[in-house]
Structures are given as structure tokens and as C-alpha cells.
Amino acid sequence: RIAGPCGMVLFGVTGDLSRKKVMPAIYDLANRGLLPPGFSLVGFARRDWADQDFAQIVHDSVREHARTEFREEVWNQLAEGFRFVPGDFNDDLAFDQLRRTIEELDEVRGTGGNHAFYLAIPPTFFGDVAAQLKEHGLAEPQPGSWRRVVVEKPFGHDLESARELNEILATVFDSGSIFRIDHYLGKETVQNILAMRFANNLFEPIWNSNYVDHVQITMAEDVGIGGRAGYYDGVGAARDVIQNHLLQLMALVAMEEPVSFDAESLRTEKLKVLSSISAPPRLDLATARGQYAAGWSGGEKVIGFCEEEGIKKSSTTETYAAVTLNVDTRRWAGVPFYLRTGKRLGRRVTEVAIVFKRAPHQPFAKTATEELGQNAIVIRVQPDEGMTIRFGSKVPGTAMEIRDVNMDFAYGGSFTEASPEAYERLILDVLLGDPPLFPRHEEVELSWKILDPILAHWAKKGKPDQYPAGTWGPESADAMLARDGRVWRRP
């Protein structure tokens, strides 16, 4: 799978996402030989830069963040296709220049009129840029070529704004040309959820409410908000992570088997499951939110969220969110899914834990199973990518004593190939026009529909509960599970 002749236009070249993810991924793809030799990259930003200045920015980002080794010859060939167009999103002349630049690249680099517009910019500008692309004839491909648009999350801030955004994009691009990025779907371990469930006969028979007690999906980060105050304040953990990454993970865990692995069949099943997910009625009991206070991280003292630069002391933005969700289907009736995410937690880890009901009967003495927990299948998305099955085993010795043990699968131990970065996979799929790993607009809207009542409930409350940096979130999150007689895993 190597992309045919094409190029990309990157809006938002000065942002974190471009620098840390998009630019390095492009280099890594080139280095792996997956981009066409004439690939071009046009940067667009309100900066007084020449092509060489832009090339320097990409160079620095590649040097710092690329996954694969730096090779002079790969870089030189790639950099020949770099161009920069200065201007802001309302500048007609700049978009005219962009059109001419693309035409020039088609000539000299053989990009064949095929270009992807990557909007690594705040969603408030999606509409403006899309309108400009349309007005300046950039969105309409010549016969036999393609134009695609790539949009980053957050896709709106609630159901209504997401719908508006979708409508705006739909006036410019047809639905097959719109690629919404949720980079979690580009992760190997996330795709492996489907392989594990549907390529094997071992797991699926027990993947239901007869055997599963509950599911915990955790995306924990040890970092704070870093330099992203402008983006994060007012957005918060639920909109930043639950609405997209965690609900997508949940959909993959809970969905029925798709007829095949094509985009349409996958989306059909994801839509079905997303439309059957809802929060329980008592949102005060079924959710928790928190904000990190000063504490410790990696052995260093760190400040609280409201002391971070650019954050107001009175900010009510949550940096931790936990929600209980139900799936109203026969398979999952009565099995709660607990989702949580937070910044400045104990450590960086993303995992899905399927926790099983206890065996209906124990023939052993009560004392023998005192240390036996519930069986669990834990899918480790990151770091230490892999999977653990936890079950009880006899402790060696003369007594019958049973204790939990782990059976481990680690990617590193089973495969020699390194996992590509999520962005490599997704950018390549955009250039190939391969849509299975991109959420379609109904999925995004259904996710907002699940979250909106929770956000409205929180909006009526004041400050989120505080938790010291470096801990596992507010006490209210523990209480949320304790009410159901359960505890969070400490990954």
C-alpha cells in the first residue's frame, strides 16, 4: 500500500499537533517508502516565511519527533516538495496563491491534482477555511483526481455545534472526501481489539452479560496541560478525550461482529452500538469530575491546574472525568462500562479491562480463595502494548491456596516489526482514500448525544472536585464505583 501521486496542504503549521505529530509522520512515511517520490507539502499560516523557513520548521520537528532514523537522502527528496503560503484564513489573495502553488506542484512534482487539506486548526476556523477552499476552486477535483479534507478533533463542543460543522463541510466536500481524525483508531492496539475479538474463538463466547461483570476503560496521563491552556480551558477532559477516543474504544469493545472489515460494515455496527449507549438517569451518582491541584509528578513538585499559565483561578474546567454508561442491548444489559480519563494522574496508561463475574461456585475452602480477585482480560493500549489475562492459580505448596496470576502477551515479545505511529497510519489512509479508520459524522453526533446531558449536568455545578497531582483522581470517582460495590483498577 503505497500512496499514488499526491500532496498535502497543512493549515496550522505552527501548532503543537503539526510539529509533534503530522510533520514527523509525513517524514516517517517517506522514510518507509510509502509516499510517492514527488510528494509535496504546502504550509499555510499567518507568518512571514519563505519556503526555506518552513522547511527549517519541518526539519526541526522531524529531528525532534520522528520515529524512524533520519536519512539525508530521504529528507532532501521530501524537502524539494515543500512550499509555504503566507496568509490568514480570510485572505483571498493568499488562497489564490495557494491555488497557483498547487498547480505549480502538479507540474513540477507530478502530484496529479491530488491534494489533501489537513485542518490542524481550532474548529472555529473549519467553516472559514472550507468556504475559502470552495470559493477559490480548491475543493473541486479535476476529473480523474481527488481533493480531500482532514479535520482534527474536537469536532464541535456539543451536538448542535457538531451538526453545524458537519453541514458546513458537507457544502464543500462530499462525504467520501471528509476524513475526521480520531488518532486512537490509528493505534495498532486499538485495531487489535477487533482482531482479538473476531479472529478468535476464545473470547467472543464469553464477551457478554452472562460472564462479564463490568468494563473499565482508562486513559490516564501523568502530564498536565502543558502549553495548551488556550485550547484546554473551557474544553476539559470529557470533550477532549471521552467524546472521541474513549467512546470509540467502547464502541469497538461493545459492537457486534461486522459483516466484513470494510468501512461501511464497520460503521454500521459502530452506529448501532453508539445509539444504544446512554448514561444512567442519576448523573450525580453515575459521573465524577475533578481538577488537579498542586502535587507531585515524576518526583517533582508541580502546580495545580488553576495556577497554570493562561488558566483563570476560577476555572471550572475539569481535568478528570469519569462516567458510567450502559449499553441497552441483549449482549450488555446490566453490564456497566466505566470510562475515566485525566491529566496529572499516577502514570500514563491507556487500557481496557473486561472484568468477569466470579465463578458461580467454589469447591474450595473459603480460606483457599481469600486472595482471589475477579478474572479479567486487560487490553493494554499503551505503553507496554499487549494484553494480560488475569486468573486464579494454585500457589505451590501443600495447602490448596489460590491466588491471582497474569498471563501476558507483549507486542515486543511476539513481533519484531515496530508499531507505526497512529498518525502515520491515518495520514497514509487519507492519501490512499481508505476510510475504515475514520469516524463518520453520525458517529460523532451520537457521541455528543451521549455526552451532552452529562456536560449539561456538570455545567450547573461549580468547581470540580480537587485531586492532588500524581494521584488517581478525586474521591468522588472512587465513590462512584464503590456505590456499585466495585473499585477502579490501579494500572
| Catalytically active residues, by annotation | 245
Other beta carbons within 10 Å of 491:
18
Specify which residues 383 forms β-bridges with: none
Q: How far apart are CA 351 and CA 232, in angstroms?
A: 23
Choice between 191 and 369, CB closer to ligand BG6: 191
**Which listed residue (221, 318, 443, 445) binds ligand BG6 by CB under 6 A?**
221
Mask for 235-254, x = binds ligand BG6 (CB under 6 A): -----xx-------------
Q: What part of residues 44-103 is at the interface with ligand BG6 (CB under 6 A)?
A: none
Choice between 269 and 385, CB closer to ligand BG6: 385
Residues in binding contact with ligand BG6, number by CB under 6 A: 5
Choice between 19 and 183, CB closer to ligand BG6: 183
CB of 290 to ligand BG6, least distance (A): 15
CB of 299 to ligand BG6, least distance (A): 21
Q: What part of residues 172-191 is at the interface with ligand BG6 (CB under 6 A)?
A: 183
Q: What part of residues 345-364 is at the interface with ligand BG6 (CB under 6 A)?
A: 350
For cell 502553488, the residue is 101
CB of 265 to ligand BG6, least distance (A): 26
Residue (of 261, 141, 135, 138) closest to 197 by Cα position: 261
Three-state SS string over 356-377 comes to: ECCCCCCCCCHHHHCCCCCCEE
Q: How far is CA 68 from the centre of its chain?
A: 22
Element (H, E) at 309: none
**What pairing do the DSSP bridges indicate for beta strands 212-220 and 295-297?**
unpaired
CB of 43 to ligand BG6, least distance (A): 22
CB of 98 to ligand BG6, least distance (A): 27
CB of 152 to ligand BG6, least distance (A): 8
Choice between 227 and 412, CB closer to ligand BG6: 227
The CA–CA distances, whole Å, from 34 to 70, 78, 146, 397 equal 16, 12, 18, 56
Q: Which amino acid is at 267?
A: R
Cell of 268: 454500521
Phi, psi of 432 (to 5 degrees): -85, -15
Choice between 240 and 465, CB closer to ligand BG6: 240
Choice between 214 and 245, CB closer to ligand BG6: 245
Choice between 15 and 336, CB closer to ligand BG6: 15
CB of 226 to ligand BG6, least distance (A): 9
Three-state SS string over 414-471 comes to: HCCCCCCCHHHHHHHHHHHCCCCCCCCHHHHHHHHHHHHHHHHHHHCCCCCEEEECCE
Choice between 5 and 24, CB closer to ligand BG6: 24
Class of residue 367 by CB neighbours under 10 A (exposed 0-12, middle 13-18, buried 19+): exposed
Q: How far apart are CA 461 and CA 52, in angstroms?
A: 51
The percent of the chain in helix, strand and coil, each rounded to the nearest 5, is 40, 20, 40
Position with the least CB separation from ligand BG6: 240
Q: What part of residues 429-468 is at the interface with ligand BG6 (CB under 6 A)?
A: none
Mask for 299-338, x = binds ligand BG6 (CB under 6 A): ----------------------------------------
Q: Is the peptide bond before 154 cis (omega within 30 degrees of 0)?
A: yes
Phi-psi region of 450 (alpha: psi -120 to 50; beta: other; left: phi over 0): alpha
CB of 453 to ligand BG6, least distance (A): 22
Other beta carbons within 10 Å of 322:
28
Binding site for ligand BG6 (CB under 6 A): 183, 221, 240-241, 350
